[in-house]
Structure 1
Amino acid sequence: MVDIRLSALEVAVVQNGTRPVDTLRDTAAFAQELERLGYHRIWYAEHHHSPAIGAFPPVVLTAHAAASTTAIRLGSGGVLAPNHAPLMLAEQFGTLAALHPDRVDLGIGRGPGTFDEATARALRRGAGPTTDAEYREDIAAILSFLVDEVAFGPLPEPWLLASSTAGATLAAELGLQIALAHHIRPDNTHAALERYRAAFTPSRWCPQPRVLVCVETVCAETEEEAAWRTGPMDVIKAGLLKGASEIPFPTPAQAAAHTFTAQERQALDAFRAQQASGTPEAVLDRLTQLADETGADELMLTTPVFDLRDRVQSYELVKKHAEATAAP
């Protein structure tokens, strides 16, 4: 039984045969549906130069969704510090928090948000990858600007995204809430959480360790339907495993016709075993196990499936089954 908060990560998939503007229209409908279902928050991820994921700035998607909802929390998960001036991020999310009090999160990450080196350099105006020291300085500057320069009203709630012990150490040193990218690097989750809790220093932002774990979750009425829905993302992952360029997000039928090598299938099966996929019963059992193992305060579900209706249904099945099995 999952008795902790459930939230969502929206990666804004651009489906094969559709246009990015169609994905943009879906984001508002998705936020409204998840608010109706009682999810706690939605975060938007920063991506660039991808045929499968829209290059939509998280701050814009947050503003758009906030204008069409009334209660659900919204924000970045994450906005990538190396790509932005710290003062600009503080101003953007400080403004959103003033316009939508107690509803805006500022989740900050480090990656470039692209697999294309030229795009990554363009985002940083020709600079190379950020160093550990530069990243720490950027995070500290963002937090300082929020308090000293922006402070338009209620502040956004800051989180640090991490997928390694290095990121967990930084979150602990700065006294920030941590969002663990279990959906990207699940093998690092437990070591990162151990480091975070052991090294945590209280701050004005967070008096004690607070953990969110993001898990890839695909729920359907049957195992077969869940496997059908996970097919397109399996094709994307298989390509990334062998260093191929990203491709448009395939349809389930296109994915079903794709041939995986034995090595790819083994890697995909191993990854899925650490996520949550299948019937409502199987998904809730896995989410409960993950919550117990990590001691998470909140689980964030990301559901990269082809159709908006299937994505919403997955979240609906999880939420309804969680409520049905909750203790009276």
Structure 2
Amino acid sequence: MFDIPLSALEVAMVQAGARAVDTLRDTAAFAQGVERLGYDRIWYAEHHHSPAIGAFPPVVLSAHAAASTSVIRLGSGGVLAPNHAPLTLAEQFGTLAALHQGRIDLGVGRGPGTFDEATARALRRGAGPATDAEYEGDVAAILSFLVDEVALDPLPEPWLLASSTAGAALAARLGLPVAVAHHIRPENTQPVLERYRANFTPSRWCDVPRVLVCVETVCAETEEEAAWRVGPMDVVKAGLLKGQSEIPFPTPADAATHPFTAAERQALAAFRTQQAVGTPETVLHRLSRLAKATGADELMLTTPVYDLRDRLRSYELVTKHSGTTTAP
């Protein structure tokens, strides 16, 4: 039995040969599927100007999914504070929380959500990247506006996303639960958690340190099938290693013929050892090991595979073999 809650991160990959509207259609089916499987929450990530990931606002996806589900929590993982006015975020997520009581999260992050400099500047109305002070001020303003301006009941549950010790320190200082991006920078996970727990200050939002760890998880009946399904994301990651952000999300068949260099294969293999890819036995072992090593209160699984059915099957296998499923 797996004894901590499991959640899902929806990245909304746009499949090669598909339209963005097809991805949007799949997000509702995905939300309904993981709700049936008993997952605690779904978060939506903010991305821009990417051929592999849809530029769909987390607040819109959360509202859409909330209308077609009944109990699963929904929200941003995350909405990127430098790209938005703090009052606007407070109003949007505060309204959602009032409409869907007890089901809305507001996960806030810092990154621009794009590797394209022109897009990043457009999001910031021509301004450059946010400084540490500006980001901290934005997060503090969002929290203040939630309480003093929005003042609806209940408020969304705020989280701070962190992949660095600076983000961990801010979450600790503000007394927020922290979501650690182990699926992006696994080498930073332990330093982030050490900084967060050592400096945590209780707040109205959180009495004690609270940790969610996000991990890339691809589960299949065989190791070969899991490797086949993870292939498209490997192609995207290999492009990022070369500084190429405009890499489409290929089919598994195309990914299987991709000419990876020896250095890329080595980097991808090293990354995969920190994630949870393989058979149910392998995946549950790695998830359990990660939960124990981090002391996480919750694990969030991100499963960037090509086909919606394969993606849901991965989530189904995890719950089936972990004993956490509540599906009929």
1:11–1:45 Cα contact (<8 Å) kept: yes
State how far apart, in whole Å, the 1-side matches of 2:35 and 2:81 are: 28
Correspondence for 1:201: 201
Correspondence for 1:270: 270
TM-score normalised over the length of structure 2:
0.98
Correspondence for 2:94: 94
Correspondence for 2:55: 55
Note the residue ranges of structure 1 that are not aligned, 5 or more in a row. none
Alpha-carbon distance change, 324 to 33 in structure 1, aligned in 2, over 3 angstroms: closer
Correspondence for 2:131: 131
2:2–2:324 Cα contact (<8 Å) kept: no
2:161–2:181 Cα contact (<8 Å) kept: yes
State how far apart, in whole Å, the 2-side matches of 1:304 and 1:22 are: 16
Secondary structure of residue in 2 paired with 1:60: helix
Amino acid aligned to 2:270? A
State how far apart, in whole Å, the 2-side matches of 1:31 and 1:217 are: 17
State how far apart, in whole Å, the 1-side matches of 2:209 and 2:191 are: 15
Note the residue ranges of structure 2 that are not aligned, 5 or more in a row. none
Alignment of 1:1-328 (within 5 A): 1-323=1-323
Q: CA deviation at 1:26?
A: 0.3
2:38–2:324 Cα contact (<8 Å) kept: no
State how far apart, in whole Å, the 2-side matches of 1:100 and 1:109 are: 23
* CA displacement 1:188-217 (0-9 Å, x = unmatched): 000110000000000000000000000000
Amino acid aligned to 2:158? P
Amino acid aligned to 2:71? A
Amino acid aligned to 1:257? T
Q: CA deviation at 1:153?
A: 1.9
Amino acid aligned to 1:229? R
Q: CA deviation at 1:151?
A: 1.4
TM-score normalised over the length of structure 1:
0.98
State how far apart, in whole Å, the 2-side matches of 1:25 and 1:19 are: 10
The count of residues paired between Structure 1 and Structure 2 equals 325
2:50–2:245 Cα contact (<8 Å) kept: no
Q: CA deviation at 1:2?
A: 2.4
1:2–1:291 Cα contact (<8 Å) kept: no
Amino acid aligned to 2:239? G
Extract structure 1 runs of 4+ deviating beyond 2 A.
none
State how far apart, in whole Å, the 2-side matches of 1:272 and 1:117 are: 29
2:5–2:299 Cα contact (<8 Å) kept: yes
Aligned-residue sequence identity (percent) comes to 82
State how far apart, in whole Å, the 2-side matches of 1:33 and 1:83 are: 31
1:49–1:114 Cα contact (<8 Å) kept: yes
Q: CA deviation at 1:324?
A: 7.5
* CA displacement 1:252-271 (0-9 Å, x = unmatched): 00000101111000000000
